[in-house]
Structure 1
């Protein structure tokens, strides 16, 4: 039995998130069916994390164990891409040590959230159309506060099964690029719905409906009801996963 890492990306529009769930099409289920069919064995895929319905992944890692050593990994990658839907692409597959874990060995995760200031028919599934004026300076001031705290209960989905709401945020900032506003955030881990809740609250800051001090008070309150509404999923991308053994 050998363990393999899979690097892939996917467009989340057609999926109810990453994780297998009853009566819904998910990325994990789609991958497991494809791997099992080609390798002719029952394959369980473990992802580096979860993404919610409609959320995309520019980079995603997963691992699986297999006894089938007869198919070269490059050929396996080609066969999988021929079988998988257009919304999922396998970039590479490589062998790792047997105890290497896609989720637990990741050292950081980076998300990007894209807001489009103009309406375009080509990007409506990949960005949030938001044509209103925003104070980007105040949004960046509020973003800097995220790195001063560790408990992000105020931005977590309620009644989840996690043991702690502690996260170490290493970077959070907004950048304007032509007609796009891009929010980048990096942390060791993220809570369910956390990035979308942060973005939704920062938009309230940008509209001057919430001050930078109010944003700080929301963090300290540890109360989801105090934060803003979650931003829509189509603007959110899991951008990069870092591991100590991958450049």
Structure 2
């Protein structure tokens, strides 16, 4: 039987989601906990892979087991066993062919910026002065993203993907008080794509790049033309959507 698990994690102490040699990852911590609690070797498959230091307020993984489990009891035990920076929300049985990564129909990210020095947000957002940013200009540039599907310019080099095509359904900046958040949703994302987009939009906001130049960056399909990737600590995976029919109970 296959189960989906919904969770969140604070990424500061982890070298991303995916298991890495000689580095601690969220996947490794959870696999060890599940294997111990279920008394058998358990492998899990995540809905994606976040980079080192990136956070997730909603994430999913699936695992298989040849037994019916008490979902509520397992959730309680996992939350008691896992470190305080990983939280399990829900365990759900799904169809046997449901896949945490490939069954997802959309994903949403947020990139969070504090416009003032905030000692409580230092590990959770990028801190910049509002005097350095033209937010309206950044929003006008962000709208251009929905006119394209090829985002090779914002992809990590030497990646093994077969296509750089993504369909972006929303991309905008929102200010609330002294906090600035970039929202972006798409059917899929390339490695490092959101951080590269944010870093390039910040170049626009700092008037180091025009909107026309931002458009050219997309069209040239050349990562070296885009801005530097924004720091990982401000990035959150916030929503992963699946077809309702894959869930059983």
TM-score of the two chains, using structure 2 as the length reference:
0.96
Matched, 1:221 2:220: yes
Show the counterpart of 1:50.
Answer: 49
Q: Describe the SS at the equivalent of 1:63.
A: strand
Show the counterpart of 2:155.
Answer: 156
Q: Deviations over 1:40-67 (max 9, x none)?
A: 1111110000100000000001100012
Q: Describe the SS at the equivalent of 1:158.
A: coil
Q: Partners of 1:97 and 1:54 in 2: how far apart?
A: 32
User: Aligned ranges for residues 132-211 of structure 1 at < 5 Å?
Assistant: 132-211=131-210
Q: Partners of 2:124 and 2:93 in 1: how far apart?
A: 32
Q: Partners of 2:243 and 2:176 in 1: how far apart?
A: 31
RMSD: 1.1
Per-residue deviation at 1:120? 1.3
Report the count of equivalent residues.
245
Per-residue deviation at 1:68? 3.5
Per-residue deviation at 1:121? 1.4
Per-residue deviation at 1:238? 0.2
Matched, 1:24 2:23: yes
Per-residue deviation at 1:29? 0.7
Q: Partners of 1:16 and 1:245 in 2: how far apart?
A: 32
Contact 1:39–1:68, Cα closer than 8 Å, also in 2: no
Show the counterpart of 1:82.
Answer: 80
Q: Deviations over 1:132-184 (max 9, x none)?
A: 42111110110000000011011010001111111000100001110011000
User: Aligned ranges for residues 35-74 of structure 1 at < 5 Å?
Assistant: 35-69=34-68, 71-74=69-72
Runs of 4+ in 1 over 2 A off after TM superposition: none
Q: Partners of 2:18 and 2:186 in 1: how far apart?
A: 21
Q: Deviations over 1:175-201 (max 9, x none)?
A: 111001100000000011000000000
Per-residue deviation at 1:6? 0.1
Gaps of 5+ in 1: none
Q: Deviations over 1:51-106 (max 9, x none)?
A: 0000000000110001242x411000000011100010000101011111111110
Per-residue deviation at 1:208? 0.8
Q: Describe the SS at the equivalent of 1:173.
A: strand
Q: Partners of 1:121 and 1:67 in 2: how far apart?
A: 48
Contact 1:12–1:53, Cα closer than 8 Å, also in 2: yes
Contact 1:12–1:56, Cα closer than 8 Å, also in 2: yes
Gaps of 5+ in 2: none
Show the counterpart of 1:120.
Answer: 118
Q: Partners of 2:161 and 2:233 in 1: how far apart?
A: 25
